[in-house]
């Protein structure tokens, strides 16, 4: 039987989350109704999403985030590439500053999450079609030229925290087409419930496999504490004539070198505990 304490904690956090989500949706709908220019609307969407992602991460979920080496000077358009483990790291990254995220057409069609991401100014791509993805790369390049900061998760999926998967290459070349820098970023979970990031707790922050969003996020809500770290790495530059694999491989090597994988615990201890309170005895 699930502990009453962790259930109450989860319910309280859920109330705060739904409150911030509701205000976010209302303010985003106001932006949609009052901003006709598509580029300006996307900028306002991303700024609004950044504000509420930060509030949700800090106030609703209680996550403590450390940001390392964030550039003092902002570029007028850049492609930020990062490793990806789940919904939580999106909240953390988006909460730092306004960014437009690249996601899949499948996400756009997902109930609840689809409309929420549209109101955040996301770009949707069809990765399974080479013809479409090349045209979408051109569209992203135009938005980068227009000064937008765009986030790409080049693994093209979320992971279980064991390693950084190989990067997909095509969309990264949007930065070369636009003549803007690539900003590699590494996302690490440092501790969960006072323990190092390990396999006992990872299913509360890593959304992968067949887990539903509700199942995953309920585990997140029940957590006592999470500390995370986002580090900005050396900026990369590429030209359209460069071999596209070189840029992806360089960014992957940089992020992998800084990524701290989930620690393995004995199989008997891996099951997600029903009682999240630590017994001091």
| Backbone phi and psi for residue 271, each to the nearest 5 degrees, phi listed first | -60, 135
The model's pLDDT over 211-263, given as tens digits with 9 standing for 90+, comes to 899 999 999 999 999 999 999 999 999 888 777 789 999 999 999 999 999 99
Do residues 31 and 120 lie in contact, with contact meaning Cβ atoms separated by under 8 Å?
A: no
pLDDT value at position 134? 80
pTM to 2 decimals? 0.89
Give the pLDDT band of residue 111 (cuts 50, 70, 90).
confident
CA dihedral over 272, 279, 263, 62, signed as positive or negative: positive
Residue (of 55, 63, 33, 59) closest to 45 by Cα position: 33
pLDDT value at position 278? 40
Domains, the chain: 4-263 (3.40.1130)
């Amino acid at each position: 039987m699930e502990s009453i304490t962790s259930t109450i904690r989860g319910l309280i956090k859920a109330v705060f989350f739904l409150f911030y989500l509701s205000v976010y949706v209302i303010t985003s709908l106001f932006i949609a109704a009052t901003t006709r220019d598509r580029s300006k609307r996307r900028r306002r969407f991303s700024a609004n999403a950044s504000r509420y992602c930060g509030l949700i991460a800090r106030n609703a979920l209680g996550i403590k985030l450390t940001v390392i080496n964030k550039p003092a000077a902002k570029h007028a358009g850049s492609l930020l590439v990062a490793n990806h483990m789940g919904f939580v790291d999106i909240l953390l990254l988006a909460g730092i500053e306004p960014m437009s995220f690249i996601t899949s057409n499948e996400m756009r069609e997902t109930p609840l999450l689809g409309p929420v991401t549209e109101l955040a100014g996301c770009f949707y791509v069809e990765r399974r079609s080479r013809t479409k993805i090349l045209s979408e790369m051109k569209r992203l390049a135009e938005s980068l030229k227009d000064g937008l900061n765009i986030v790409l998760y080049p693994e093209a999926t979320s992971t279980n925290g064991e390693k950084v998967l190989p990067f997909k290459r095509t969309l990264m070349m949007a930065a070369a087409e636009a003549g803007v820098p690539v900003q590699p970023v590494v996302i690490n979970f440092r501790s969960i419930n006072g323990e190092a990031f390990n396999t006992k707790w990872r299913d509360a922050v890593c959304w992968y496999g067949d887990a539903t969003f509700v199942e995953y996020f309920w585990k997140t809500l029940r957590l006592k504490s999470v500390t995370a770290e986002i580090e900005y790495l050396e900026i990369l530059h590429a030209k359209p004539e460069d071999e596209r694999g070189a840029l992806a491989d360089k960014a992957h090597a940089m992020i992998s070198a800084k990524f701290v994988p989930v620690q393995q615990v004995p199989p008997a201890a891996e099951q997600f505990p029903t009682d999240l309170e630590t017994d001091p005895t």
